[in-house]
Structure 1
Amino acid sequence: MSLSRSPSPKRGGGWASPGLNANFAQSRSSTPVTSYSQNHSVTWASAQARSHQVNGYPAYQDTGSGFLTKHMRNISASLPFFNNAPKDERQAEKEKMNRARWSPARRGYLANFKSMLGHHMQRSKSRFILVLVLVLLIICFYTTPLHYWYKKSSWLGGGSKFVVILAANMGGGVMEWKGPREWAIERDSVRNKKNYVHRWGYELEIVDMSTKKRYAHEWRESWEKVDTIRNAMRKYPHAEWFWWLDLNTFIMEPSYSLQQHIFNNLNDNVYRDINDYNPLNISHPLTGAHLDPESLSPVGDGKADSINLIVPQDCGGFNLGSFFVKRSAWTDRLLDIWWDPVGYEQKHMEWEHKEQDALEYMYTNQPWVRPHLAFIPQRKVNSFPPGACGDNGEDMNIHYHEHDRDFVVNMAGCEWGRDCWGEMYNYRQLSNRLNRNNWEKFKDGVSGAFSFLKTKKKEITGTEKDNEDKEKKES
């Protein structure tokens, strides 16, 4: 209904225009009062009946509440939302969103950097915690015995399968008193082996090789290697390989594990045909008609599992300064015959090198020994310094070479006209220099640079003084 003119109120209440009047009470109150007739009165019984009728209705069932519908709704809700509105509307929405956020005032680059760093750390908190846990595990692993036990376990590092046997004279000298040099050699050698076995989880058996009178008429300390190996096998029943090292040996490369250096590829690191390097000119293979095929073969059965003894050769034949023995029935038989006093009684005057000559004799005359004995290149486990086996000059197959990073050096025969302590000290210093980490190399480089500058300055100062003295003399 349209109004022809603007409405005006009446003096008694209401409006002059029709259609704007409402039923108000007689008072001037602006609140309308609704009057109910008698027919629309609500009683308690009728209200209670209506309430029962509402509660009795069935619950509302959503037609889209199925399994597939719910998952489709979740997937659609997780999809990114692209705002295709005009640019002005997007900027307005962005402005509304940023109104409730706190933004730092412009307080310089440092404050902005702190704010940015805090925001980034808050976003990458889970990554930071993960990296922190990883760093803590690495620190605990390398600064606690966890590293040693990990390397030692048979099903992880495999270190428990190897035992290093070191010959030492812990209580005193053999046949004579030990001097300061002998004590220093023993200290450095023992420390070197302890550090190596701790790094790789091996066992170390330090044997006191002091003179023992095994027989009433003869001293036999040089023959104690066999007896010592048998005792070590009884002491470490779960070990598989036993590595004998003389006291005058030094491990130059402690970063080489025995598994990586030799035993992971045993057939590639040894040779079983002695004709490859035969300084003793032993006839090989045997040709007896009564022998089995393995004894007639120059390489036995050719399998790595059948190798039970690994020996290097120097310029004079077999060398037992560093060799490996494997636990097996064949090894028990060999050690029994090797230690048999019958052979010692008959040949002890002829065998100058004792056990070494006895092993050469058994290899030459006992066919059952050859199929299970393998030879390893000497520089692989037993390099010599230039003074040993040096009658024919330096031999690339025998002597130590720094650029090839040989594993072990053996100062064999240094007590006969050479300086054992001097050689041990030089090779120890060389090993420390070759195995420096990056930080040690940096420190040595800085120290060397300062030393060079000081030396250069002294030379310049000395030259200037000499020139001044010459000028004074001439004047």
Structure 2
Amino acid sequence: MHFALPPRKTSNPPPYTRPSKWSPTNAAHSLRKQRTLGVVIFCASLVAFFIFLRTVTPASVAAANIPAGTPEVVIVTVIDDKVSQAYLDRIKHNREDYASQYGYKTFYAHQKDFDLGQAPKSWALLPAIRKAMTEYPHTTYFWALSPHAVIMNPTQSLVERVMAPKKLESLMIKDQPVVPPDSVIHTFSHLKGHQIDFVITQDAEGLCSESMILRRGDWANFFLDVWFDPLYRSYNFQKAENHALEHIVQWHPTILTRLALIPIRTINAYTAQMSSRGGPATTIMDDDFVARAVGCEKDPTRNCEREMTPWFDTWKTKYDVKHSHGQF
């Protein structure tokens, strides 16, 4: 008699599979996990999209929100309280004539307009720029220009002459000591024109804030806040806001990363050779953009109005568009 043998056990049994234990509780938990994952993915995609808009196409997005008729540039001039009305009229005439050719606007303030406490009156420049930004909330560039300067050659807009990114890259002085001649802090070598928010010149004594350009934005707000800090205004800097500027540029990399030095005659040529401040390299030549009587307001032996009158007359004869049409 033969009996059936039981099946042999394989020496390679299949992997053990845990039986599924479905329950309404487990199903709900799984659904919640899927929904949470979906929300996380959606939020991450949304954040990435907004980062893309702000970093890849900022100019086009910003341009869409600028109202028609907004000036691209506002020229900011802070008037010395001592100037005569005739001199003030010449200053305004010069700037408004230039601005009218390119759709720009002008903004004037007096030093006495601002409560500076015991700080030198020259600090008024900073709240004046802030006030101009408030009055023109969509303007891109603010050009702060000394009242003792004349726009001599209006044949190009400020953007074409300086601020267009490729043009700015061709002008930028890289790896330059911020405070000459031997500051260990140098301008950066890797910056591109579109990264610059602050354009300024330099002579043999340091940075020259009497003609400088600031691009609107969060960085500009931060920069003006730092520069106008009460600690700096109360500190006895020899050259007030100018030395405060040199201090923060050297000690705050966040500011240096947005700064471009350009050749001084680009926007700030001197009307007379100042050997102690750069010599011939700073002195105005034919067809230069701006002429400025450097230091005249701080020297009691000099008279700014007398020094600048020949330059106003030269500009009026050669370039005064409104005057040539009988508007003045």
TM-score, with normalisation over the residues of structure 1? 0.49
User: Matches of 1:270 and 1:323 in 2, distance apart?
Assistant: 14
* Of 215, 223, 246, the match for 1:334: 223
8 Å contact from structure 1 (residues 211, 221) kept in 2? no
Gaps in structure 2 of 5+ consecutive residues: 1-64
User: Matches of 2:320 and 2:90 in 1, distance apart?
Assistant: 18
Q: Deviations over 1:135-176 (max 9, x none)?
A: xxxxxxxxxxxxxxxxxxx99x9972211111125xxx35xx
Q: Deviations over 1:67-98 (max 9, x none)?
A: xxxxxxxxxxxxxxxxxxxxxxxxxxxxxxxx
Change (3 A) 1:224 1:419: closer
Change (3 A) 1:239 1:272: farther
- 1:243 is paired with a residue whose SS is strand
User: Matches of 1:412 and 1:396 in 2, distance apart?
Assistant: 14
Counterpart for residue 296 of structure 2? 414
User: Matches of 2:120 and 2:179 in 1, distance apart?
Assistant: 29
Change (3 A) 1:432 1:227: closer
Divergent runs of 4+, >6 A: none
User: Matches of 1:420 and 1:214 in 2, distance apart?
Assistant: 24
1:170-189, aligned counterparts within 5 Å? Answer: 173=81, 182-189=84-91
Letter in 1 for 2:233: Y
- 1:274 is paired with a residue whose SS is coil
1:377 aligns with 2:253: no
8 Å contact from structure 1 (residues 211, 219) kept in 2? no
User: Matches of 1:340 and 1:411 in 2, distance apart?
Assistant: 29
Counterpart for residue 319 of structure 1? 208
Letter in 1 for 2:219: W
In terms of fraction of residues, the more strand-rich structure is 2
1:399-410, aligned counterparts within 5 Å? Answer: 399-402=283-286, 405-410=287-292
- 1:320 is paired with a residue whose SS is strand
- 1:357 is paired with a residue whose SS is helix
Q: Deviations over 1:189-232 (max 9, x none)?
A: 111011111111101111122264433xx144221211111222
Deviation at residue 398 of structure 1 after TM alignment: 0.3
Letter in 2 for 1:249: A
Letter in 2 for 1:244: A
- 1:192 is paired with a residue whose SS is helix
RMSD (Å) for aligned C-alpha atoms: 2.8
- 1:262 is paired with a residue whose SS is helix
* Of 234, 252, 263, the match for 2:152: 252
8 Å contact from structure 1 (residues 165, 245) kept in 2? yes
* Of 298, 302, 305, the match for 2:188: 298
Counterpart for residue 112 of structure 2? 210
* Of 408, 428, 432, the match for 2:312: 428
Letter in 1 for 2:228: W
1:107-256, aligned counterparts within 5 Å? Answer: 160-169=71-80, 173=81, 182-210=84-112, 212-215=114-117, 218-256=118-156
User: Matches of 2:101 and 2:320 in 1, distance apart?
Assistant: 16
User: Matches of 1:247 and 1:226 in 2, distance apart?
Assistant: 15
User: Matches of 1:298 and 1:193 in 2, distance apart?
Assistant: 33
Counterpart for residue 247 of structure 2? 361
- 1:160 is paired with a residue whose SS is coil
8 Å contact from structure 2 (residues 179, 246) kept in 1? no
Letter in 1 for 2:138: H
User: Matches of 1:194 and 1:411 in 2, distance apart?
Assistant: 20
Higher RCO (Cα < 8 Å, 6 or more apart): 2
Gaps in structure 1 of 5+ consecutive residues: 1-153, 286-296, 441-475
Counterpart for residue 275 of structure 2? 390
8 Å contact from structure 1 (residues 185, 248) kept in 2? no
User: Matches of 2:231 and 2:168 in 1, distance apart?
Assistant: 34
User: Matches of 1:158 and 1:241 in 2, distance apart?
Assistant: 15
User: Matches of 2:272 and 2:79 in 1, distance apart?
Assistant: 24
User: Matches of 1:160 and 1:193 in 2, distance apart?
Assistant: 14
- 1:184 is paired with a residue whose SS is helix
Letter in 1 for 2:195: S
User: Matches of 2:312 and 2:240 in 1, distance apart?
Assistant: 30
Counterpart for residue 12 of structure 2? none
Q: Deviations over 1:176-199 (max 9, x none)?
A: xx5xxx333222111101111111
- 2:130 is paired with a residue whose SS is helix
Q: How many residues align?
A: 254
- The structure with the largest alpha-carbon Rg is 1
Q: Deviations over 1:2-35 (max 9, x none)?
A: xxxxxxxxxxxxxxxxxxxxxxxxxxxxxxxxxx
Change (3 A) 1:368 1:191: same
8 Å contact from structure 1 (residues 313, 375) kept in 2? yes
Letter in 1 for 2:184: S
Deviation at residue 428 of structure 1 after TM alignment: 1.9
TM-score, with normalisation over the residues of structure 2? 0.70
8 Å contact from structure 2 (residues 201, 268) kept in 1? yes
